[in-house]
């Protein structure tokens, strides 16, 4: 018994069926799957139901049970059968009690849900299976305090709740969330801009991998800084799960990466899809799910981080602390608030953990003499988003309104921590620039320098000194605080999040933006010099020139190479030259030499493998089309028999 993909004739729509040992469709399963396809359920849903019901009928066949005569005890036996390893399911091999269950609790419950839908479907057609797995639970709400309650819940809460008669107890897994270091490590490990762009889209916009693979160039709004998810049929079988159109805000860094990808790698390729094959045949074909997961496997081995593409979506969702639920629901493309609330516990726990991790100081750089947990409860960040500032928090009581306008840096109710260092540093630089511009304008107008007693200048100086004190204090904190900082938003596809300056000479840099800029320029110049030396060494030795090889040779980061236009242009030119110039043949090459024979046989074997792969693909497609025609004919015959039973 196996699950077979089929292509329906005429429409080429994808569907699935279950074949028995005689390669004939299992009729009760086929009738149910045909119904799901007719009501336009996702092919992925039909595929999952097909695999789940294949296991159910394999269990029935092994115990010679009739599918319409099963009992609840048989379903319980099916659960125990699923937990056994495949080698022990026929009863010929003893399974030790210490062996862990083959199917997880979540997988078993998913299969039971499919079986429940299957029984309910046939129950509506006269089978006695309709009430096999149906039961009612006691009235009342069983969710957590943060669970979403539907409209008119107060009216329906006293009614009995439907539930499945057989289900394993489990607690919902907490979504995995990347730290900034982990997310940036994965981005930096990508060798191509295409790969980097894919994960940047998942992280910056919270898209599902199928939604990203189905993106067209028209969906990338560079000017609007939005990414539009459009449900449509795609050649790579990628799907937008929710089925609705939505636009998600994107960062300027993501759009810049997309533009660089088009200019550097995509080139003049004629394709509507954003993510396509560039270095493997056929070029221009849209990227597929297997190709993405093959890339994920390589990145796991390269970075040592066990991750799935969907973890980027979890990270995106949990970055929206304090944002109204309906906004997060719209950005994520969820059909109901209940789906979005699955992230609520993780979002709240993540936000509280990150809030408590860092040292809080006031506008005059003093430690706040309040217990961090009491401070978190007092702010009520999940209810009062107006307490979240671009550079910190407002400590006013929830019912008190601010009357000071934008004077946070001179207010005793202002608090901040190391997570806001980038914003504070930018604000310090812009304040200095503003002071300089106003002083120049005053001198041009009045013919004299602006006095330090000037009311406006005195206020800006006060803010400038407050920012310098805050930055100096935060940079003097333990640098390990920011090393595992959780992602507060989308990590920049270009610049990794770095820790504050530490080590010898750091004290001379802290608190002075000019010194900070000089130190950054010196560090960049030193890295560029190392990259130039490494590039010359690779050219001299004839080593393959790639971004990763140069980063390892010169001891610089991939991010630095991608972000330095001159170096990046040289590496790409040299890499393209090595690809286009074939290696010079050896003057003493002898076809009878073992090395020449091995190369010839290797080339012939590779060509045979390619032909075999193409033939297998063609045969698989022909089989799927033939199965689709066979399935369509069977469905028509069944329909005619049901409509005209007397004939």
DSSP string, 222-279: TTTTEEEE-----TT----SS-S-EEEE--HHHHHHHHHHIIIIITT---SBSSB-SS
Mean pLDDT comparison of 23-27, 172-176, 271-275, 505-509, highest-scoring range? 271-275
CA distances from 645 to 34, 202, 638, 639 (A): 20, 53, 10, 10
> pTM for this structure?
0.57
Burial tier of 369 (Cβ tally within 10 Å: 0-12, 13-18, 19+)? exposed
| Residues 6 or more apart whose Cβ sits within 8 Å of residue 175 | 311, 314, 317, 318, 342, 343, 346
Q: How far apart are CA 67 and CA 69, in angstroms?
A: 6
User: What integer pLDDT is reported at residue 504 of this predicted model?
Assistant: 37
Query: What confidence tens digit (pLDDT) does each residue in 417-453 have?
Result: 887 888 888 888 888 899 999 999 988 988 888 888 8
Beta bridge partners of 10: none
pLDDT for position 617: 79
- Whether the CB-CB separation of 177 and 241 falls below 8 Å is answered with no
**Percentage of the chain lying above the pLDDT 70 cut:** 72
Angle at 100 between CA 96 and CA 102, to 5 degrees: 110
Q: Which CATH class is domain 180-332?
A: mainly alpha
pLDDT at 511: 41
- Which tokens belong to 560? 């630095």
Report the percentage of the chain scoring pLDDT > 90: 6
Class of the domain covering 2-138: mainly alpha
pLDDT at 383: 57
Task: Give pLDDT tens digits for 371-420.
Answer: 777 776 666 655 555 566 777 878 777 666 776 656 677 787 788 888 78
Q: What does the pLDDT read at residue 299?
A: 92
Confidence (pLDDT) at 346: 58
| Beta-carbon count within 10 A of 409 CB | 23
* 40-53 average pLDDT score: 86
Mean pLDDT over residues 210-220, rounded? 90
Q: Examine the pLDDT at 366 and tell me if it is beyond 80.
A: no
Q: What does the alpha-carbon distance between residue 375 and residue 566 come to, in Å, rounded to a whole number?
A: 49
Give the pLDDT of residue 404. 63
| Whether the predicted pLDDT of 621 surpasses 50 | yes
pLDDT at 136 (0 to 100) = 55
pLDDT in tens, 127-145: 877 677 766 555 554 554 4
Distance CA 494, CA 562 (A): 7
For 186-207, what is each residue's pLDDT tens digit? 999 998 999 999 999 999 988 9
Instruction: Rounding to the nearest 10 degrees, give the CA dihedral for residues 115, 119, 120, 125.
Output: 150
| CA 473 – CA 134 distance, rounded (Å) | 62
- Which of 154-158, 233-237, 243-247 bottoms out in mean pLDDT, i.e. has the lowest? 154-158
Collapsed DSSP state (helix, strand, coil) of residue 62: helix
CB-count exposure of residue 58 (10 Å: 0-12, 13-18, 19+) = middle
Per-residue confidence (pLDDT) for residue 125, from 0 to 100: 81
> CA 450, CA 436: separation in Å to the nearest integer?
10
Residue 322 gets the label, from left (phi > 0), alpha (psi -120 to 50) or beta, of: left
Q: How confident is the model at residue 593 (pLDDT cuts 50, 70, 90)?
A: low
CB atoms within 10 A of CB 132: 23
The predicted pLDDT at position 494 comes to 47
pLDDT, position 161? 61
Q: Do domains 2-138 and 180-332 have the same CATH topology?
A: no
Mean pLDDT of 630-647: 62
pLDDT tens readout for residues 301-326: 998 999 999 899 888 887 775 566 67
Cis peptide bond prior to 282, omega within 30° of 0: yes
Q: In the predicted model, what is the mean pLDDT of the chain?
A: 76
pLDDT band at 156 (very low <50, low <70, confident <90, very high): low
pLDDT average, residue stretch 533-549: 84
3-state secondary structure 356-378: HHCCCEECCCCECCCCHHHHHHH
pLDDT at 452: 87
Domain boundaries, the chain: 2-138, 180-332, 383-476, 513-580
For the cut 90, the answer to whether the pLDDT of residue 637 exceeds it is no
State yes or no: pLDDT of 510 exceeds 80.
Answer: no
Instruction: Name 260's Cβ contacts closer than 8 Å, sequence gap at least 6.
Output: 193
Tell me what the mean pLDDT of segment 496-512 comes to: 38
Per-residue model confidence (pLDDT) at position 385: 56
């Amino acid at each position: 018994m196996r699950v077979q993909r089929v292509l329906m004739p005429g429409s080429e729509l994808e569907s699935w069926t279950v074949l028995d040992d005689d390669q004939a469709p299992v009729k009760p399963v086929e009738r149910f799957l045909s119904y799901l396809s007719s009501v336009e359920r996702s092919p992925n849903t039909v595929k999952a139901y097909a695999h789940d019901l294949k296991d159910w009928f394999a269990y029935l066949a092994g115990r010679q049970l009739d599918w319409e005569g099963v009992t609840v005890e048989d379903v319980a036996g099916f659960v125990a059968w699923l937990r056994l390893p495949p080698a022990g399911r026929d009863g010929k091999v003893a399974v030790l009690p210490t062996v862990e269950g083959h199917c997880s609790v979540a997988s078993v419950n998913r299969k039971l849900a499919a079986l429940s839908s299957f029984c309910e479907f046939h129950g509506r057609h006269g089978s006695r299976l309709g009430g096999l797995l149906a039961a009612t639970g006691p009235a009342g709400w069983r969710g957590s305090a943060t669970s979403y309650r539907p409209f008119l819940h107060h009216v329906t809460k006293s009614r009995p709740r439907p539930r499945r008669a057989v289900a394993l107890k489990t607690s919902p897994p907490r979504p995995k969330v990347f730290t900034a270091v982990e997310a940036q490590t994965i981005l930096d490990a990508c060798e191509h801009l295409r790969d980097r762009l894919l994960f940047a889209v998942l992280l910056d916009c919270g898209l599902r991998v199928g939604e990203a693979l189905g993106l067209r160039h028209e969906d990338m709004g560079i000017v609007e800084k939005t990414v539009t998810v459009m449900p449509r049929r795609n050649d790579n079988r990628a799907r937008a799960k929710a089925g609705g159109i939505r636009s998600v805000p994107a960062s300027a860094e993501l759009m810049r990466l997309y533009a660089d990808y088009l200019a550097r790698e995509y080139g003049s390729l004629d394709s509507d899809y954003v993510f396509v094959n560039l270095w493997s045949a056929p070029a221009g074909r849209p990227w597929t799910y297997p190709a993405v997961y093959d890339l994920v496997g390589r990145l796991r081995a390269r970075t040592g981080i066990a991750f799935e593409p969907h973890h980027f979506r979890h990270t995106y969702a949990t970055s929206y602390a304090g944002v109204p639920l309906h906004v997060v629901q719209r950005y994520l493309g969820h059909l109901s608030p209940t789906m979005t609330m699955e992230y609520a516990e993780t979002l709240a726990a993540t936000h509280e953990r990150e809030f408590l991790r860092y040292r809080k100081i006031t506008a005059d750089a003093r430690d706040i003499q309040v217990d961090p947990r009491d401070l978190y409860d007092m702010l009520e960040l999940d209810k009062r988003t107006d307490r979240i500032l671009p550079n910190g928090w407002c400590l006013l009581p929830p019912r008190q309104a601010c009357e000071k306008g934008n004077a946070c840096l001179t207010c005793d109710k202002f608090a901040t921590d190391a997570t806001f260092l980038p914003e504070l540093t930018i604000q310090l630089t812009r304040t200095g620039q503003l002071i300089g511009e106003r002083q120049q304008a005053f001198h041009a107008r009045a013919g004299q320098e602006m006095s330090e007693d000037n009311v406006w200048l005195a206020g800006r100086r006060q803010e400038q000194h407050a920012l310098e004190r805050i930055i100096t204090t935060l940079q003097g904190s333990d640098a390990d605080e920011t090393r595992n900082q959780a992602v507060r938003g989308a990590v920049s596809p270009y610049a990794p999040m770095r820790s504050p300056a530490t080590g010898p000479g750091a004290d001379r840099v802290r608190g002075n933006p000019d010194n900070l800029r000089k130190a950054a320029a010196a560090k960049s110049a030193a890295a560029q010099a190392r990259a130039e030396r490494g590039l010359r060494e690779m050219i001299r030795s004839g080593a393959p020139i790639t971004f990763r090889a140069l980063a390892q040779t010169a001891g610089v980061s991939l991010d630095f190479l991608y972000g330095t236009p001159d170096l990046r242009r040289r590496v790409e030119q040299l890499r393209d030259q090595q690809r286009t110039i074939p290696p010079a043949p050896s003057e003493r090459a002898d076809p009878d030499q073992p090395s020449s024979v091995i190369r010839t046989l290797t080339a012939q074997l590779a060509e045979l493998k390619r032909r075999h792969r193409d033939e297998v693909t063609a045969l698989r497609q022909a089989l799927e089309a033939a199965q689709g025609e066979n399935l369509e004919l069977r469905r028509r015959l069944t329909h005619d028999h049901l409509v005209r039973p007397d004939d």
